[in-house]
Structures are given as C-alpha cells and as structure tokens.
Amino acid sequence: RVDVVTLGETMAMLRAPGIGLLRHAASLDVSTGGAETNLAIGLSRLGHRVAWIGRVGADEFGALICRTLAAEGVDCRAVEDPGAPTGLMIKSRRTEAVTRVNYYRRGSAGSRLCPRDVDPDLVTRSRLLYVSGITPALSADAREAVRYAIDVARAAGVPVCLSLNYRAALWGPEAFRAELTELVARADLVFAGEGEARLVVGGDTAEDVGRSLAALGPGQVLVTRGELGAVAVVEGEALVARAYPVRAVDPVGAGDAFAAGYLSGLLDGESVVDCLDRASLAGAFAVTVPGDWEGLPSRADLALLSAEDAVLR
Ligand code: ATP
C-alpha cells in the first residue's frame, strides 16, 4: 500500500551558483523542482512510500525528473508527453538575501496533466492524497485532474491534504481565492503560508487566519510563518511551533519540507506536538542548503539540529 499519492508539475531547475545578475552567470547548475515532488522526496527520505503523478516532455529534462525521483525512492508515475516540453524554472540571487525564480512553463508537458492521468486505484489504495493550489492554475485539464483526484479520495475515505501555494505568475488573487475556497472546503488538512492564507480568508493573527480556514471545513490547518515558526489549528485547538534557529541560505521549499515532516509524523501516529516538531525540523533543514529539496532530512538527520558536537566521526 502507498502512504501518500500526489500529483502536479515538476520542472527542470537551472540555478545560478553565485550572487548577481543572471546574464553574468557563466554556468548554471541543473536540478529539478516542484512543490509536490519536493514533498514526495521529503516523505521518501523519512521512510514513507510515495507516488507522484505528473507529465514530463519526451526530452532530457523529463528524463532527469524521472531519474531524480527514482533515485530518491519515489514511485514516479509520469506520463511522457511528446507534444510539449518539460517546463523550466530558473533561480538566481540578485542579492544575498533575495532569491528570484523565473518560470518557463506555459504550455509545458506538466501543465497538460488531465483526469485520465490519475489512476483511481492508486488514490484509493493510499493513506493520504496531497495536492497543491498550483495545479488548478496550470490549465483547465490540470484543474480537473485535481478535482477528480479529490473526488476519488473522498469517495474512498482517503484524507485530502492541500497546500495553498499561491503563485502570482500563474493567476491573480481573486481567481486564487475563488478556486482555493472550494478546495479548502473539500480538504481534511491544509498547509498555508500566512500571507497566501490572507488571500483566501481574513483574520488579525496567524491563529485567526488558521481558524478562518478551519471554519471552511478542514479539521487540521497549519499556518507557516517562515523563521517565526507556525501555528496549528487542530480540531478547534490552537498550538504554536517555534522555528529552529539556523542560518538560512535558500528559503524556497521550506513549506514543502514542513508539510513532509508533519505528514510523516501523522503517518507514524505521532501527537500533534511531535508532528509539528518534525515539520519544523524538516523546514529548518530545507533552508540551510541551496536547492528546493536537496537539504531535506532523513530520519537519522533529524537529530542533527540538536547534536552537541559539531564534528561527527
Ligand atoms: P515556500 O513556499 O518557499 O516553500 P512557505 O512560505 O510555504 O515556503 P515558510 O513559512 O517560509 O513556508 O516555512 C515553513 C516552515 O519552515 C516554517 O514554519 C519554519 O518551521 C521553517 N522555516 C522556514 N524558514 C525558516 C528559517 N529561516 N529558519 C528556520 N526555520 C524556517
């Protein structure tokens, strides 16, 4: 049985190794990135069985994505689409503190995900379904694929986990609010950055925002606040989690890591407090390494942030 099934778009990522204008980068590092596969890799590293459904182009970047997921132990259910290229994202740092991501994804293979790509048996056999608010913005077909996966999961009693993941390059705040209000109402567990959550609901504090999201339906809402930590609203009760103090070099991917840590705890039957701790640890690991998922911890790594010795032999 699969622990978690997820679907969405993963792209090749080109990353400038230094700081400054992209035009002066003499070379770019090649990797991959996508919210759902970042989450899948995070869960796989923590020992869970994860499957990812998506589309890639019949090209080298598509092969890179499948190869990376296989190497990370993720069951890659990619449809190879000969009619469109694998999407691209380019990450650069204009200053030490500001990361910029440019997307080349319109019309990409990943954006052509459709309900036919979603294997209902795989969803039914999973313990959790994980979807993000990025996929419905990619195309009408991709939006239908998300709705179909949610329908199948709900009919089978498989809990639905949703990450808001607002992407301003894909749609405006009104369209996002309309779509995500519907999706949140059909989710059991919601992950949201505080800022993007405010695009969907109101509230003064992070706890208020979490309670407003929970009022739409989900029994568990996690509102993340970067280095300020996170607030959980679980079955009406609010809990606060502090972030681990680390030196952040790349903030992208922290939310996906946090979700992986939290769901890992949930799959292990841990208490909410322990799920939050694993989530915060995973989030802290993600920001200490350049790359969206490369820094994600294994189970053994989790203990390292409280290790007393700086050198382990
Ligand atoms: P992204 O969309 O870039 O993946 P996000 O905005 O969804 O990220 P954040 O709120 O930035 O997610 O971070 C999620 C969690 O990761 C935080 O709640 C915190 O536990 C951890 N985290 C993020 N940034 C830091 C940091 N600088 N130091 C320590 N922990 C961090």
How far, CA to CA in Å, does 9 sit from each of 109, 193, 197?
8, 20, 22
> Average pLDDT in the 297-310 region?
84
Q: Which atom of ligand 1 is nearest to the CA of 192?
A: 7
Residues in CB range of 295: below 8 A, 6 or more apart: 253, 257, 285, 286, 287, 288, 289
Distance CA 230, CA 166 (A): 18
Terminal CA-CA length for the chain: 37
The burial of 124, by beta-carbon neighbours within 10 Å (0-12 exposed, 13-18 middle, 19 or more buried), is given as middle
Domain ranges of the chain: 2-9+35-85+114-301
Q: What is the pLDDT of residues 27-64, one digit of tens each?
A: 999 999 999 999 999 999 999 999 999 999 999 999 99
The CATH number that domain 2-9+35-85+114-301 falls under is 3.40.1190.20
Distance CA 192, CA 166 (A): 9
To the nearest whole number, what is the mean pLDDT of the chain?
Answer: 96
> Average pLDDT in the 283-290 region?
93
- Which of 95-109, 203-217, 229-243 has the weakest average pLDDT? 95-109
Q: Which atom of ligand 1 is nearest to the CA of 280?
A: 20
> Average pLDDT in the 138-166 region?
98
Separation of CA 4 and ligand 1 centre (Å): 22
Q: What percent of the chain has pLDDT over 90?
A: 91
Residue 171, ligand 1, Cβ within 6 A? no
- Strands 189-193 and 220-224: what pairing? parallel
Q: What are phi and psi of 295, to 5 degrees?
A: -85, 0
CA-nearest residue, atom 7 of ligand 1: 255
Is the pLDDT assigned to residue 257 strictly greater than 90? yes
Active site residue 59: no
pLDDT of residue 96: 84
Distance CA 244, CA 132 (A): 25
Residue 191, ligand 1, Cβ within 6 A? no
Mutational test site, ligand 1, from 38, 96, 227, max ligand atoms within 8 Å of CB: 227
Q: What is the pLDDT of residues 181-191, one digit of tens each?
A: 999 999 999 99
Nearest to 2 by CA among 98, 96, 118, 127: 127
